[in-house]
Chain A
Amino acid sequence: MQFHPFKFISICSLSFRNLLQHRLRSALSILGIVCGTMSVIAMICIGEGARQKTVAQIEQLGIRNIYIKALPLSETQKQKAGDRLSPGLHTGDAERIEKGCPYVSETACLKEIRASVMGLNADISPPIAAVSSSYLSVLNLSLYQGRFIRDLDIQNKNPVCVLGYRIAEKTGAKVHIGEWLRIENKIFTVVGILRQTAQKREENAAISVRNCNEMIFVPINMPDMEKDLTEIIVQAEHADRVVLSGKMTERIMEVSHHQVDDYQMLVPLELLHQAQKTRRIFTVVLSAIAGISLLVGGIGIMNIMLATVSERTKEIGIRRAVGAAKTDIVFQFLIESVILTSLGGTAGVVVGIGAVRLLAFMAEWDTVINLFSVILPLSMSVLAGVFFGLYPAWQAACMDPVSALRHE
């Protein structure tokens, strides 16, 4: 068939008029497609939102990092740990890992301290963490003002502290670099303020992200701070080495802790893989649902197109008599079914975006609406139109023109 834009437009407008003649029928027949595209768009937006959230959380934990967290022990476990001379997490573990594992570039230690800060507004009691100097680089934090804790502070037992951004803000900017802060019965000098990090409040099921904005950091320099650490963060030199480093670290920890399970290892990269696996299952299930609804919708379209074809048998005969070839007839009915499904697809996308927005607003789910999430369901609906319109259109084209003309 030769393609002429004005012919194409006239066929389209004619098809549109045909559909408008049976408004209710057309509207009802596209309901299935509307539901199908709606579920596709919802699937993509919700899935993508969940993915981005997980990725962001895990990136915050550090993709190259391995977390070793201390576990609270029961009495019998404490007894066992004592018997086997396991000292719990301590800075020595970090040193041993750094020495023993060639792919580890850095380690950082953190110990949460329960202490109250004096001289602040009564309603804030920020968590305090004693950390090693590498904590800043391992967690990829940056400074807003001043400096972070240095090795020298730890060696010399300097009473200095670094504030999270929100803490610095909450103290009404009273506390600046060089100010003093009293923690329990010691005076600390503020040497730095951290830059604000984009912190999400939600907690990952497996691991919680520390909110550095709300924390005070002090050097890990008191003798009693070196043992019973809260966590050690091990950083591999490259993301490819994380799994291997994790295995080596695990072995080192097993040996030095005499197989006492007083710690737990978490690898964000593995969590990411796990999340991806879960998401894949989620995607498969939702794709199946979307596929089934598109299939049902498509069958609805096919049904209505078959009815249209038999209703318009005479028209087909007339068109054949004035010179329409079989392909012209196929084209005409295909256009009609594609217009139907495209209308359904567009309606589905509009309703779907509305539903996703509503869900994001009401249930506070993370959703992402991007170009892909609009184009995919739209093109699927167009394809459904072609696929399910083809048989009725072909049937129309194969009609014998003479008997079609006689049809009443």
Chain B
Amino acid sequence: MGNKDVHVLRGIDLLVSKGDFLSIMGPSGSGKSTLLHILGCLDRPAYGEYLLDGRNMFAGSDRELSRFRAEHIGFVFQSFHLLPMLNVFENVALPFQYSGSVSLREQKRRVKEVIRQVGLENRMLHKPAELSGGEMQRTAIARAIVMNPGILLADEPTGNLDSETGEHILEIFKKYNHAGGTVIMITHDREVAAHARSCMYIKDGTIAVPSV
């Protein structure tokens, strides 16, 4: 490991409109995940701007950025990233810990509602270790959409799942997109990418094939 700066992304100009379902493709190390992290305000770019709803996202403090992330962005990861100690219900309710004041009753109602949406109402009190891969990913999706964020960012959501389960997950994304949510999804798989409305290809940190 050296101290050499590596420019992961170089001159990406990307416009995503509200209600879009964009898939980003590209080989490993092309900078897809970094792009997604920047879009999700989890990482800050060394240079450049990111405007969301016309607002410069990296002008605010860590607190403001975190609050924005809690309320407007939902992440879904390839390896689910659930907290093993918490059950499905608690995992899904996690974002409420970091958002503004939503009454406890309203929280419970919304958590139950999204768990029903992803079809896990019978698994509510199970810990992640007791769930299958698909169920874990559905829990992660429920956690991502429980705040009704408007933007759903998915990093290879079907990468660890068999194709049938993957289809099911993509159906949930589509449903969310139809309901007005913006979905940006990273994938390796052309078939998976085909589910999106538009597709973009990144190579060596630049956009190789612009979205269609």
Contact = CB atoms under 8 A, between A and B. Distances in A.
A21 to B, nearest CB: 7
B163 interface: no
Given A7-B97, A321-B75, A21 B85 contact: yes
A323 B101 contact: no
Interface stretch (A30-38, A324-332, A386-394): A324-332
B75 A322 contact: yes
A2 B101 contact: yes
Contacts of B81: 314, 317-318, 321, 405
Contact of B98 (A322, A401, A402): A322
A4 interface: yes
B40 interface: yes
B66 A320 contact: yes
A10 B97 contact: yes
B50 interface: no
A319 interface: yes
Given A320-B42, A321-B40, A323-B71, A405 B77 contact: yes
B98 A325 contact: yes
B8 to A, nearest CB: 11
A323 B66 contact: yes
B67 interface: yes
Nearest to B102: A4
Given A326-B62, A405-B42, 7 more contacts: A7-B97, A320-B66, A322-B95, A323-B66, A325-B98, A327-B63, A405-B77
Instruction: Assign chain B's interface to a size class.
Output: 20 to 34
Contacts of B85: 14, 17-18, 21
Interface string A18-56: 100100000000000000000000000000000000000
Interface of A: 2, 4, 6-7, 10-11, 14, 17-18, 21, 314-315, 317-328, 400-402, 405
B117 to A, nearest CB: 18
B104 interface: yes
B136 to A, nearest CB: 13
Given A7-B97, A10-B97, A11-B97, A323 B42 contact: no
A253 B147 CA distance: 92
A249 B30 CA distance: 99
B208 interface: no
B83 A328 contact: no
Per DSSP, chain A at the interface is: helix
Contacts of B99: 323
Contact of B70 (A4, A10, A315, A323): A323
B69 A321 contact: yes
Given A327-B63, A402-B37, A405-B81, A322 B70 contact: yes
A324 B98 contact: yes
B66 A324 contact: yes
A61 B211 CA distance: 99
A7 B86 CA distance: 15
Contact of B94 (A2, A17, A319): A319
A330 B43 CA distance: 19
B2 interface: no
A94 to B, nearest CB: 80
Interface string B48-63: 0000000000000011
A320 B43 CA distance: 11
A321 B101 CA distance: 19
A326 B65 CA distance: 11
Contacts of A10: 97
A323 B95 contact: yes
Residue among B97, B99, B143 having the largest count of chain A Cβ atoms under 10 Å:
B97
B11 interface: no
A15 B11 CA distance: 44
B42 A401 contact: yes
A315 B42 contact: no
A10 B81 CA distance: 20
A318 B83 contact: yes
Residue among A10, A21, A323, A402 having the largest count of chain B Cβ atoms under 10 Å:
A323
Contacts of A400: 43
A320 B68 CA distance: 12
Given A314-B81, A318-B81, A402 B62 contact: no
A10 B97 CA distance: 8
23 contacts: A2-B101, A7-B97, A317-B81, A318-B81, A318-B82, A318-B83, A319-B94, A321-B42, A321-B69, A321-B81, A322-B70, A322-B94, A323-B66, A323-B70, A323-B98, A324-B66, A324-B70, A325-B66, A325-B67, A328-B66, A328-B98, A400-B43, A402-B42
